[in-house]
Amino acid sequence: MRKITIEPITRVEGHGKVTIKLDDNNQVVQSRLHIVEFRGFERFVQGRPFWEAPVLVQRLCGICPVSHQLCASKAMDVIVGTSSGELTATADKMRRLMHYGQFFQSHVLHFFHLASPDLLFGVNSDPLKRNIIGVIGAFPEIAKKAVLMRKFGQVVIHLTAGKKIHGTGAIPGGVNKRLTPEERDQLLVGTPEFNVDLMVDWIQEGLELFKGYHKKNHEFIDGFAAFSSNYLSLVRKDGALDLYHGVLRAVDSDGAKIFDQVDYQNYSDYITEEVRSWTYMKFPHIISLGSEKGWYRVGPLARLNTCDFIPTPLAQKEFEQYKAYTQGKPNGMSMHMHWARLIEALHAIEMIRELLKDPDIIHGELVKTGERSGEGVGVLEAPRGTLFHHYRVDQNDQITLCNLIVSTTSNNEAMNRGVTWVAQKVINGHKEIPEGMLNQVEVAIRAYDPCLSCATHAVGQMPLELVLQDLDGNQLDRRIKNVGDFDGAGT
Amino acid sequence: MEQGQISLTIDGKECVAKEGQSIVQAARENGLFIPTLCDFRSLSPAGTCRVCTVKVGGRFVPGCTSPAVNGMVVENETAELTDLRRALVEMLIVEGNHMCPSCEKSGNCELQELAHHYRIVVPRYPFLFPVQKVEARMAHLFIEHKRCIQCLRCVRGVRAKDGHEIFGFMRRGSDVRITVDVTDPEAVSEATAKKAMEICPVGALIQKRVGFRVPIGQRRFDRKHEKDGKQL
Ligand code: SF4
Ligand code: SF4
Ligand code: FES
């Protein structure tokens, strides 16, 4: 049996590796994505005072600190005797503003920096041009808008959290600031080049860009790494898309509800994590379906599969088109993640516009507390998917237990399936690593925007090492793709 | 010169001070900056941190405990003293465990502010990473020993309602450890915890459950920097 190893080397978040096993007829028998996560964090938090958690845990991830801060704060809301659904109007809206700011900038980053080069130049174009630097050269207008959109999201975060990254806005039971009218007007009125209305227009241009590409490239967008699965996310009680707060809902590949209206304080009655010998990463699954069948996907694709509608008008219109494409059935096409992501970005910026016009972000009480409790769960939808934070706190206010399920962990099985899909398509029957293999594996993993690619976001490429071995572990073939160069055609 | 006044020079600047004032007080009154950490408003000086070190007659003396004397010539902002003070701040940093990004004193912390002032990015000394347990048993006060700089401001400045001392210390030198009687649940009231947090220059004494309530931008040194920025 042969073994192919693909190793994405990342600097910060963790270290990933793909191994593909071939039998003697060069048929793929198994492929696995190994991600070494920094699990020590859950221990690190133990003993710390609970009010420190939101600030501490945001260090977990360099790219979505806001999600961790808000999620820990939601858990701590319960500890201080309230719930995220019962906060003051000001606290709820300021936190939402921060969250939508994070969503907008994260989704814009992913689409324009990582995906748009393929779309603007075509996947078979000159690899040296097909990156964000190439986009800046050839499509300066689009590049400029992408940069300003991202900046807009960052300014929203800065004004709500006090800093662009690693701020302190959300605290147990509420927030520590409101916006001043001047701060609000920076976003609402802004300048002719930088205001919320422009952002709403620009993200719609991004959607048109995607849809135009989709029209011409159905086969790739619909076919690449497409498979069915279960889906999980928060939804608002009435079934609306809600990225910040709600109840848990899971649907199967036909759209039938596996569970619904679940209070996330009881998440562990519905979801459990399994440890497997070959990776540190856990495999969460839906208990009632068992570990084999119970795996699920989270993230943009999942959210648009679980929710019934989107509560902002422009995004709802796009959602209707999107749903019509699959006749209302759940969408399992991995590349449609980009489409879903853009619809969510549109929803996020519509929500930001709504919130900026709301007087509650200028006036009102910041914090609400009640009777102390010893255990709290926070759940929200991070850009990459459902995020769980679970804490126990003793009578001295020290954290005694911390359990986190991050979205990349939930998508673990799905990413493995994506890699398997590519391996079977591309490697079956080959003795050598085929041209384009690295790119295809990268595209399949990156659709989930996993944390292991965080460190390479800036240039939009995931460094990969792929090694082909024979039965005895001798190297037969090896390909490396560093940041800055591309591995031939591929996708 | 009026009765009770003296004159001295600090870095060549003619200064007028009141008799009995320390060099630090004299400098402040004349709009000059000498860094301090263990010195605190009305408290009698303890001279534990030495970041206020100045040079008088070729000798190093602590500015907070040395009285200003008529005709005195004080060196303050020389390259030598700046390096010495920076070294002292660096020592305090490596002797403790200072993770400013997750510390609730950040922005209100005098040690952080001095590190900022001296543009300390990487200390010249190796980090000691002391392992020190937190004291979390009191209802209103949390003690983070690993951030304590042994300035003894708490020992000198925090008293219970009836006047008795609350904080003490054991061991000596850089091993000094702040102690408090945790068996008496009444000893540290909410108000006392608040006072202790205010008096502590760093994030060692923490009033429970109020962390991060002051937003970035409105903390003590954020405001100072904003003002400085505007003046510039
Ligand atoms: S006490 Fe001051 S220097 Fe130490 S971690 Fe806290 S803010 Fe930083
Ligand atoms: S606890 Fe604070 S005030 Fe007391 S000695 Fe330590 S640093 Fe100084
Ligand atoms: S301030 Fe003078 S020795 Fe500390």
Chain A neighbors of B216, CB-CB under 8 A:
161-163, 167-168
Q: What is the chain A residue with the closest CA to B137? A: A396
Tell me the average pLDDT across A192-210. Answer: 94
When CB atoms are compared, the residue of B102, B206, B214 closest to A55 is B102
pLDDT at A12 over 50: no
Helices assigned H by DSSP within A1-139: 41-44, 53-57, 65-79, 89-108, 116-121, 132-138
**A191 vs A1, which has greater pLDDT?**
A191
What does the block give as tokens for B116? 């900022």
What's chain A's average pLDDT? 84
**What pLDDT is recorded for position A358?**
97
Chain A neighbors of B210, CB-CB under 8 A:
51
CATH 3.30.70.20 matches B87-216: yes
pLDDT tens-digit series, residues A213-231 = 899 888 888 988 888 999 9
Q: Which atom of ligand 3 is closest in space to residue B65's alpha carbon?
A: 2
Poorest-confidence range of A49-63, A321-335, B175-189, B217-231? Answer: B217-231
Greatest Cα-to-Cα distance within chain B, rounded to the nearest angstrom? 56
- The Cα angle at residue A182 between residues A178 and A188, in degrees rounded to 5: 90
Centroid of ligand 3 to alpha carbon of B64 (angstroms) = 5
pTM of the model: 0.89
Q: What are phi and psi of B68, to 5 degrees?
A: -75, 135
pLDDT at B215 over 90: yes
pLDDT band at A11 (very low <50, low <70, confident <90, very high): very low
Tell me the average pLDDT across A414-440. Answer: 77
Tell whether ligand 1 has an atom less than 6 A from the beta carbon of residue B203: yes
Residue B50 CB neighbour total at 10 angstroms:
19
Q: What is the chain B residue with the closest CA to A372? A: B209
**What pLDDT is recorded for position A9?**
37
- The Cα angle at residue A41 between residues A37 and A44, in degrees rounded to 5: 155
Which ligand has an atom closest to residue B34 CA? 3
Minimal CA separation from B208 to chain A, in Å: 8
What does the block give as tokens for A39? 């699990």
**A345 vs A463, which has greater pLDDT?**
A345
pLDDT band at A63 (very low <50, low <70, confident <90, very high): low
Tell whether ligand 3 has an atom less than 6 A from the beta carbon of residue B149: no
Tell me the average pLDDT across B5-20. Answer: 94
Q: What is the chain B residue with the closest CA to A58? A: B102
Q: In chain A, what percentage of residues exceed pLDDT 90?
A: 54
* DSSP classification of residue A194: B
Tell me the average pLDDT across B130-145. Answer: 91
Tell whether ligand 1 has an atom less than 6 A from the beta carbon of residue B120: no
pLDDT at A451 over 70: no
Say how far apart CA A319 and CA B223 lie, in whole Å.
46
A370 in B contact zone (CB under 8 Å):
no
A400 in B contact zone (CB under 8 Å):
no
A171 in B contact zone (CB under 8 Å):
yes
Minimal CA separation from A182 to chain B, in Å: 15
**A488 vs A485, which has greater pLDDT?**
A485
- The Cα angle at residue A263 between residues A308 and A322, in degrees rounded to 5: 20
A372 in B contact zone (CB under 8 Å):
no
Q: What is the DSSP string of A398-420?
A: BEEEEEEE-HHHHTHHHHHHHHH
In sequence order, the 6+-apart residues with CB closer than 8 A to the CB of B97 are B129, B130, B132, B146, B147
Tell whether ligand 2 has an atom less than 6 A from the beta carbon of residue B109: no
**What pLDDT is recorded for position A115?**
74
Tell whether ligand 3 has an atom less than 6 A from the beta carbon of residue B52: yes
Say how far apart CA A206 and CA A175 lie, in whole Å.
33
For atom 1 of ligand 3, which residue has the closest CA? B36
pLDDT at A188 over 50: yes
pLDDT band at A454 (very low <50, low <70, confident <90, very high): very low
**What pLDDT is recorded for position A490?**
27
What does the domain layout of chain B look like in residue ranges? 5-77, 87-216
pLDDT tens-digit series, residues B167-178 = 998 887 767 889
Which ligand has an atom closest to residue B52 CA? 3
- The three-state secondary structure class of A32 is strand
Which ligand has an atom closest to residue B113 CA? 1
When CB atoms are compared, the residue of A47, A161, A169 closest to B134 is A47
**What pLDDT is recorded for position A439?**
72
What's chain B's average pLDDT? 90
**What pLDDT is recorded for position A151?**
95
**What pLDDT is recorded for position A39?**
54
* Sheet containing A399-405: order of strands: A375-382, A385-393, A399-405
pLDDT band at A1 (very low <50, low <70, confident <90, very high): low
Residue B4 CB neighbour total at 10 angstroms:
9
Q: In chain B, what percentage of residues exceed pLDDT 90?
A: 71
Q: Which of B216, B221, B222 to mutate to test the interface with A (most CBs of A within 10 A)?
A: B216
pLDDT tens-digit series, residues A320-338 = 999 999 999 999 998 899 9
Centroid of ligand 3 to alpha carbon of B50 (angstroms) = 5
Say how far apart CA A378 and CA A388 lie, in whole Å.
6
Chain A neighbors of B209, CB-CB under 8 A:
51, 80, 172, 397
Domains and CATH numbers, chain A: 52-231+301-396 (1.10.645.10)
Q: What is the chain A residue with the closest CA to B217? A: A162
Question: Pairing relation of β-strands A230-235 and A296-297?
Answer: parallel
Class at the top of the CATH hierarchy for domain B5-77: alpha beta
In sequence order, the 6+-apart residues with CB closer than 8 A to the CB of A359 are none
Tell me the average pLDDT across A196-216. Answer: 93
**What pLDDT is recorded for position A27?**
80
A52 with B104: Cβ contact below 8 A? yes
Tell me the average pLDDT across A45-68. Answer: 85
**What pLDDT is recorded for position A447?**
78
Chain B neighbors of A171, CB-CB under 8 A:
211-213
Tell me the average pLDDT across B159-165. Answer: 80
Tell me the average pLDDT across A459-486. Answer: 54
pLDDT tens-digit series, residues B107-129 = 999 999 999 999 998 899 998 88
For a ligand 3 pocket test, name from B23, B25, B36 the mutation site with the most ligand atoms within 8 angstroms of its C-beta.
B36
**What pLDDT is recorded for position B186?**
72
pLDDT band at B146 (very low <50, low <70, confident <90, very high): very high
Tell whether ligand 3 has an atom less than 6 A from the beta carbon of residue B39: yes
**What pLDDT is recorded for position A24?**
78
Q: Is the dihedral of CA A55, A61, A65, A71 positive or negative?
A: negative
Q: Which of A41, A368, A396 to mutate to test the interface with B (most CBs of B within 10 A)?
A: A396
What does the block give as tokens for A317? 């219109």
Minimal CA separation from B73 to chain A, in Å: 45
Which CA distances in Å does B52 have to B61, B65, B154?
Answer: 8, 9, 19
A396 in B contact zone (CB under 8 Å):
yes
pLDDT at A488 over 50: no
Chain A neighbors of B219, CB-CB under 8 A:
none
pLDDT at A17 over 90: no
**What pLDDT is recorded for position A478?**
63
Tell me the average pLDDT across A456-480. Answer: 54
Tell me the average pLDDT across A474-480. Answer: 62
Residue A316 CB neighbour total at 10 angstroms:
17
ipTM of predicted complex:
0.89
pLDDT at A15 over 50: no
For a ligand 1 pocket test, name from B51, B91, B106, B212 the mutation site with the most ligand atoms within 8 angstroms of its C-beta.
B106
Q: In chain A, what percentage of residues exceed pLDDT 70?
A: 82
Tell me the average pLDDT across A455-471. Answer: 48
Size of interface A-B (CB pairs under 8 A): 54
Say how far apart CA A464 and CA A432 lie, in whole Å.
16
pLDDT at A442 over 80: no
Tell me the average pLDDT across A446-472. Answer: 54
A328 in B contact zone (CB under 8 Å):
no
**What pLDDT is recorded for position A14?**
39
pLDDT band at A164 (very low <50, low <70, confident <90, very high): confident
**What pLDDT is recorded for position A421?**
86
Tell me the average pLDDT across A444-455. Answer: 63
Task: Please answer whether residues B19 and B3 qualify as being in contact, where contact means their C-beta atoms are separated by less than 8 angstroms.
Answer: no
